């Protein structure tokens, strides 16, 4: 793909968005939740773990712990045991409890609705805050950059940045704000269903003609 101007990149991105929207009209957050608190806890649990595994664990976990106070007052060992299979369970349990103690002490037991307040909670970085703001409150405060979003942004030639923070800043400058939450869903869904880390299915890909396939081995670009 020849060197792009900002204008041609924006036009290409617009076509990518149209194609992904058409391909995944039902794209949504795949972590099961019924409240902002459940989504916050599920997102903390999803670090280094699949959404599928988190959903199996939270199906029981959320029946037992229903409020921030429930997590704040639970014996730590009990929390650890309940989330053991999500990995890094000691750290996650410690963060969930400390986070919920702050919710109880500083936010009346409710999940706050601003990036600043959310990122002051234990175990909550920009990514988790973006997930909660975008999916529980409908607030487009940023773009969630997980492993799929980082990989696809790079392959699609949208950024050369390598840290999630810098990738997010570039995507925020490129994608219309009202689509920030959806855009990360589209890339995550496409990453899971078509553009896998090791075996991207370029041949069948819905954005094949719009993608420079940066970093993809030649043999995988088998439709060019
Ligand atoms: S063309 Fe290949 S590298 Fe590009 S998004 Fe599709 S599957 Fe991924």
42 alpha carbon to ligand 1 midpoint, in Å?
A: 29
Pair 190, 23: CB distance under 8 Å: yes
Reduce the secondary structure of 14-32 to three states and give it as a string: HHHHHHHHHHCCCCCCCCC
Residue 133 in contact with residue 124, Cβ under 8 Å?
Answer: no
- Cα(75) to centroid(ligand 1), Å: 47
Q: Has 102 been annotated as catalytic?
A: no
pLDDT value of residue 224: 44
21 catalytic, yes or no? no
Beta bridge partners of 195: 200
Confidence (pLDDT) at 222: 60
- Counting ligand 1 atoms within 8 A of each CB, the residue from 20, 156, 212, 214 with the most, and so the one to mutate, is 156
List ligand 1's pocket residues with C-beta within 6 A. Answer: 155-156, 194-195, 200-202, 205, 207-208, 211, 213, 216
Instruction: Walk along the chain (224 residues) in steps of 10 and give the mean pLDDT of each run.
Output: 85 97 98 98 97 98 98 98 98 98 98 98 97 98 97 98 97 97 98 96 97 87 56
Instruction: Give, as one character, the DSSP assignment of residue 122.
Output: T
Report CA(15)–ligand 1 centroid distance (Å): 14
Choice among 21, 32, 70, 146 that is catalytic: 146
């Amino acid at each position: 793909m020849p060197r792009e101007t900002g204008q041609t990149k924006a036009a290409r991105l617009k076509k990518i968005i149209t194609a992904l929207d058409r391909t995944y009209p039902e794209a949504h957050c795949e972590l099961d939740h019924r409240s902002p608190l459940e989504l916050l806890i599920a997102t903390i649990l999803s670090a280094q773990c699949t959404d599928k595994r988190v959903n199996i664990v939270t199906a029981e976990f959320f029946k037992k712990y229903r409020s921030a106070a429930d997590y704040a007052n639970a014996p730590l060992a009990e929390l650890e045991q309940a989330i053991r299979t999500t990995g890094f369970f000691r750290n996650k349990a410690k963060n969930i409890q400390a986070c919920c103690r702050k919710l109880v002490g500083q936010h009346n037991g409710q999940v706050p609705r601003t990036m600043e307040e959310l990122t002051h909670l234990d175990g909550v970085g920009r990514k988790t805050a973006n997930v909660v703001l975008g999916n529980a409150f409908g607030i487009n405060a940023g773009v969630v950059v997980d492993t799929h979003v980082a990989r696809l942004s790079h392959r699609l030639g949208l950024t050369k940045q390598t840290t999630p923070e810098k990738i997010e800043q570039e995507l925020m400058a490129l994608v219309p704000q009202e689509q920030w939450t959806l855009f990360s869903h589209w890339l995550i869904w496409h990453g899971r269903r078509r553009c896998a880390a090791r075996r991207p299915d370029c041949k069948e890909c819905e954005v094949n003609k719009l993608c420079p396939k940066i970093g993809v081995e030649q043999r995988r670009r088998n439709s060019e």
